[in-house]
A and B are shown apart, each in its own frame.
Chain A
């Protein structure tokens, strides 16, 4: 079946511009995560959605970062006034159930801020 998809696959933007990244989870997966991975580093948790519950935003690094998800469908991660340190791969993962089950990752969006 279809896996997690993300768009765009690559995004180059100028410092100070806003960007919007999209994630389409696996159909029926209730949980959705966003991570950031800088070059050569591990995954950094950003935000978690579970169904219609309030999201866990504890990993968002600043108020320039926000994310939305409607129900159990598409999610968008928005970065406002991008900075060079925002350059990274942004990975989305979905999971079939709440509470620490296996995650399935999308291919990521490679963001470069010039």
Chain B
């Protein structure tokens, strides 16, 4: 089993749709979790941290399920500008940050 796994997609959704991505991780002792966004030929940028109680930032909601060892990202009311690759990042142990391979999202008019 890979340490951090994501469905590569692509997810093709119309504007205004709600879309959700999951990311599973193998290390049950992992302590911190993040979602990053990466646009084509650009560097990853932090989208949001994922807190144990779940957290929301505008149209974006992140959840953590420790029992099942996955995190999720929900995007409501998708915009064309949300088209990107979404990377799940898990802190496996202290400084060991592992990136998933990313889920590609395309929002279409």
Asked if A102 and B49 make an inter-chain contact with CB atoms under 8 angstroms apart, the answer reads yes
Task: Please report the C-alpha to C-alpha distance between residue A99 and residue B32 in the assembled complex, in whole angstroms.
Answer: 9
Q: Does B1 contact A (CB under 8 A)?
A: no
Q: A105-B43, A106-B43 are in contact. Are A100 and B99 (CB under 8 A)?
A: no
Q: Does B65 contact A (CB under 8 A)?
A: no
Within 8 A of A (CB), among B28-52: 31-32, 34, 42-46, 49
Q: Does A98 contact B (CB under 8 A)?
A: yes
Q: Does B94 contact A (CB under 8 A)?
A: yes
Ordered by A's residue number, 29 sampled pairs between the chains whose C-beta atoms are within 8 Å are A31-B95, A33-B97, A35-B99, A42-B99, A43-B44, A43-B87, A48-B95, A48-B96, A56-B96, A91-B43, A91-B44, A98-B94, A98-B95, A99-B94, A100-B91, A100-B94, A100-B96, A100-B97, A101-B32, A102-B34, A102-B46, A102-B49, A103-B46, A103-B89, A104-B46, A105-B43, A105-B44, A105-B45, A107-B43
Which A positions have Cβ atoms within 8 angstroms of B?
Answer: 31, 33, 35, 41-43, 45, 48, 50, 56, 91, 98-108
Known: A41-B101, A99-B91, A103-B89. 11 other contacts (CB 8 A): A42-B99, A43-B87, A45-B96, A48-B95, A50-B95, A100-B97, A101-B32, A102-B34, A102-B46, A105-B45, A106-B43
